[in-house]
A and B are shown apart, each in its own frame.
Chain A
Amino acid sequence: MKRTYVSAAAVAALTLSLTTACNDSGGGDGPIKVGAINGITGLFQTPEVPKAVKAVFEEVNAAGGIGGRKLELISKDDAMDPSRSGQAARELIQSNKVVALAGSSSAVDCGLNRATYTKNKVVSIPAVGVDPACFTSPNIAPVNPGPYALTTAMLYYASETLKRDKVCIDYTVLPGSGGGIEGAIKKWTEITGKTLAHKNLAVGQGDPTRYLVADKNAGCQAVLYNATVGPWFAQARTQGMQKTDFILAANSYTDANAKTIPPDMTAYAGTEWQPYTDPTLPGNDRWAKLVEKNGIQKTAFSQGAVMSADIFVQVLKTIKGDITRESVTKAFKEMKPINYPMVGTPYVFGPGDAHNPIQGSRFVKADKGGWKVLPGGFTVPGKS
């Protein structure tokens, strides 16, 4: 019995010393360690993201670092595997002692690790917020609008810019995130006073003809859509819907998808950052130069990576005194809004229990197998 007490005391002492060690998180003279959880293998692949974040950090380090300390990115691949994602977050926080996470791009990170970030008082600035939890957590604030803000912007574009009276929505919604899309539709109704002519948030796999026929019967003039592109347009064409405006979500904004849209169909896509296909747009010049110099793929995700790294560096530069996990978290919660030309609204983390600072979208149109950037800048619901 006595022995048990002794070992219990030893364990307690060890835990105490470890806790103390953990509390000193990242301070001192060594490199500033920054974590990121990225999908590199698996179904959701964004290998360009950590490369682009590293490129920004190297640029800062070459110019002397921050307060003389170098930035070091520790990126972990979660392969879209929940157990690996959880383990990656714990390792980054407990073993690597990162001061914050910047430039994450994983389809499962936010939902799984939000509680870990809150408990450890560490902030995450994802390059790409994929799942809904990225926009509803106290310690996460991505640099993209995400599905909800984007949907409101797409509806606003359909009703106010394209001036379509009968706006419809055909969405595939992940289980558990349906409420968020309903909220996005409600927000559009509040701003414009308009309602949808037809709504289907359960678009599934298989032949899309049935959904298109329902749209036709409802007299839809504009249809928001976020699922597989090819068969949708092939069948819409068969059903004679050449006069309908189809507005696609950012996930469809790829070169391959542009090629699948028949030339006589009208398709727009809402982008999250300045359209990546045109490097001359505001904010894109810096990104294009950086990724070209480092041989990184030009994608929308690499834009998010450069932006999250830039924002992170800017906020770090405002910290007076030692850069630790505590001071970084405090700096983000108290930061002033940063105007970043690649997006529609200023970025701010701030206090609060949910963050979705970036609103609005810029629209592109499918044209001759590619995407044409439309004039008029960002559409921010209620503001433009």
Chain B
Amino acid sequence: MVNSVIAGLTSGGGYALLGLCVVLTYRLVAVVNFAMTAVGAMGAFIMVSLTDKGWNVWAALVVGALSAALLSGLLGAALVRWFAGHRERTKAAVTVALFVALSAIGLRLFGGNSTGAHRFPNPFGDPVFTVGSVVVPQSVLVSLAFALLITLAVGLLLTRTRIGLKLQALSERPSTAEVVGIPAPRLAVGVWAGVGAITMLVIVLVAPRLGGDFGALSGLISTALAVAMVGAFRSLPLTLAGGLILGCLEGMSSSVDSIQKYQGVVPFLVILVLLWWRSRREVWDTAHSR
């Protein structure tokens, strides 16, 4: 049991990173982006296609990240151009449609789960230390460090810098932001491109653990959304904690025979309870503030 929980915890860093990407997009451009992992997976697969052709890994990584940035930027430009005045749910629906389209294109270009499986570079696969019978590789520490870095850096960017202030204005009141002279469309597209590149890097980092084919990687959006929910799409530290919690729960549920069959459901049930608990507090707060 303890071993399984530790094993689960080692995957928490990867889950946290995925969740952070969702929260990041939502906080910066106010869109729940369902196409996020599909865009990242496109970039990741462009990268491995290039390394297959004999490219240098770093050059391929840069090209992959740039293509994800470009794709994400285009998606952002389309949303800014045609759906700026629409509600959040309409924008989310657009990204769902894009997710379906990108998944189909990716499957066609890069193959399904048996024909399109790829071995992703795993530079951080070497063991660092052992807890119980679980070997903890460098990648776990790298994921956690990357997740912490995003949490801290974005937190500071939003609260302590001028561009952060502009970004907050953009996400909360885009039209007002434009009126006061913030170049909203350009800034938004820039954010989209940046998030696209970060997502691609995250996907490449988690691929050796979470899936080697296009479908599995683009399907990570469900995990990412579940983790983001723990942070209520707002709090970066809670999202980071959410990733670790999801990992632990997965480990725990796979070690108990009686719930093993339902292990896919257990984390989501717990998240549901967490959400209910949070909303309960909000209702309580609202009742008291009146």
User: Is B113 interfacial (CB-CB < 8 Å)?
Assistant: yes
At the interface, yes or no: B209 with Cβ under 8 Å from chain A? yes
Q: Across the interface, which residues of B come within 8 angstroms of A212, CB to CB? A: 7
- Chain A residues with Cβ below 8 Å from B4 are 210, 213-214
- Inter-chain CB contacts under 8 Å: number: 123
Chain A residue with minimal CB distance to B14?
Answer: A207
A235 touches B209 (CB 8 A): yes
Tell me the bound Cα distance from A208 to B210 in angstroms.
8
Interface-lining segment among A68-76, A248-256, A347-355? A248-256
Number of residues from A at the complex interface, CB < 8 A: 37
Cβ–Cβ < 8 Å partners of A235 in chain B? 208-209
The smallest C-beta distance from B4 to any residue of chain A, in angstroms, reads 5
Segment at the interface with B among A91-99, A103-111, A198-206, A310-318:
A198-206
Set of chain A residues within 8 Å of B211, measured between Cβ atoms: 205, 228, 230-231
Identify the stretch in A54-62, A148-156, A237-245 within 8 Å (CB) of chain B at 4 or more residues. A237-245
Chain A residues contacting B139 (CB-CB under 8 Å) are 238
Q: A204 CB to closest chain B CB, in angstroms?
A: 5
Closest residue to B206 on the A side, CB-wise? Answer: A207
CB of A259 within 8 Å of the partner chain: yes
- Option from A45, A202, A211, A238 in Cβ contact (under 8 Å) with B261: A202
Which residues of chain A are within 8 angstroms of B207 by Cβ–Cβ distance? 230-231
Residue A20 CB within 8 A of the other chain:
no
Chain A residues near B6 (CB-CB < 8 A): 213
| A207: contacting residue among B117, B219, B247, B264, CB under 8 A | B247
Name which of B72-80, B119-127, B185-193 contacts chain A: B119-127
Does A231 lie within 8 Å of B212, measured CB to CB? yes
> In this assembly, does A43 line the interface, its C-beta being within 8 Å of a C-beta of chain B?
yes
Task: Contact check, A200 vs B260: say whether CB atoms are below 8 A apart.
Answer: yes
Q: Is residue B3 contacting chain A, with contact meaning CB distance below 8 A?
A: yes
Assembly CA distance A205 to B217 (angstroms):
11
Q: Is the CB of B127 within 8 A of A256?
A: no
Q: Could you say which of A200, A202, A237, A260 contacts B117, with CB atoms under 8 Å apart?
A: A260
B115 touches A254 (CB 8 A): yes
CB of B116 within 8 A of CB of A256, answer yes
Cβ contact within 8 Å between A214 and B208: no
Closest to B209 in A: A207
- B residues contacting the other copy or chain, number (CB 8 A): 45
**A228→B11 contact, CB < 8 A:** no
Question: A230 with B213: in contact, given A206-B11, A239-B135, A260-B118 (CB under 8 Å)?
Answer: yes
A266 within 8 Å of B by Cβ? no
A252 contact set on B, CB distance < 8 A: 114
* Residues of chain B within 8 A of A205, CB atoms compared: 210-211, 216, 219, 264
Within 8 A of B (CB), among A178-222: 200-202, 204-214, 216-217
Q: Which residues of B sit under 8 angstroms from A238, Cβ to Cβ? A: 125, 127, 135, 137, 139
Q: Does A234 contact B (CB under 8 A)?
A: yes
Distance to closest chain A CB from B44 (angstroms): 12
Contact mask B211-246 → A, CB, 8 Å, 1/0? 111001001000100000000000000000000000
Please give, as numbers and ranges, the residues of chain A lying within 8 Å of B261 by CB-CB distance. Answer: 201-202
Contact flag A231-B208 (CB < 8 Å), given A238-B125, A239-B135, A256-B117: yes
A28 to B215, CA, bound (A): 49
Interface segment among B55-63, B158-166, B248-256, B280-288: the answer is B248-256
Complexed CA–CA distance, A252 and B117 (Å): 10
Q: Are B114 and A231 in contact (CB under 8 A)?
A: no
Q: A210: which of B113, B125, B216, B250 is its contact (CB, 8 Å)?
A: B250
> With A213-B7, A213-B133 known to touch, is A256 a contact of B208 (CB < 8 Å)?
no
Q: Does A327 contact B (CB under 8 A)?
A: no
Q: How far is the CA of A45 from the CA of B108 in the complex (A)?
A: 11
Binding site for A on B (CB under 8 A): 3-4, 6-8, 10-11, 14, 111-120, 122, 125, 127, 133-135, 137, 139, 207-213, 216, 219, 223, 247, 250-251, 254-255, 260-261, 263-264
- Can you list 9 A-B pairs with a CB-CB distance of less than 8 A? A206-B250, A207-B14, A209-B134, A210-B254, A213-B4, A228-B212, A230-B120, A237-B125, A260-B212
Other CB < 8 Å A-B pairs besides A240-B135, A256-B117, A262-B119, 10 of them? A207-B8, A207-B210, A213-B7, A228-B113, A254-B115, A256-B111, A256-B114, A256-B116, A260-B119, A260-B212
